[in-house]
Amino acid sequence: MFKPSLPSGQGLLLVPCSSIHTCFMRFTIDVVYLSKDYKVLGIETIAPWRVGRHVPGTKMVLETAAGYAAQLQTGSSLICRQAPAEYSGLHGPER
């Protein structure tokens, strides 16, 4: 938030997270909704001052620069080379 743009090739993985908003943002982003095992459940492009849709089963959300997610498909899986610390709790009992 409050940044002029998202650097190319970078993103923000929000864990745990099931939905997002773009309030206070100044640029459009691609949003990738992921399951606990990094399966792509949904993809959308969201302009500033909007609320993302509800995608059942979402445990984390990846925010990227607009256009980046065009290379992804719903149903595919992403590989995370360094899992966030909070990720370990996603394999255990649901919070």
* pLDDT (tens digit per residue) in 14-31: 999 999 999 999 999 999
Non-local CB neighbours of 38 within 8 Å, separated by 6+ positions: 60, 77, 78, 79, 80
CB 19 within 8 A of CB 46: no
**Whether pLDDT at 91 is above 70:** no
CB 80 within 8 A of CB 40: no
**Which has more confidence, 13 or 94?**
13
pTM confidence score: 0.81
Answer whether the bond into residue 93 is a cis peptide, omega within 30°: no
Residue-wise pLDDT tens digits, 41-73: 999 999 999 999 999 999 999 999 999 999 999
pLDDT at 3: 72
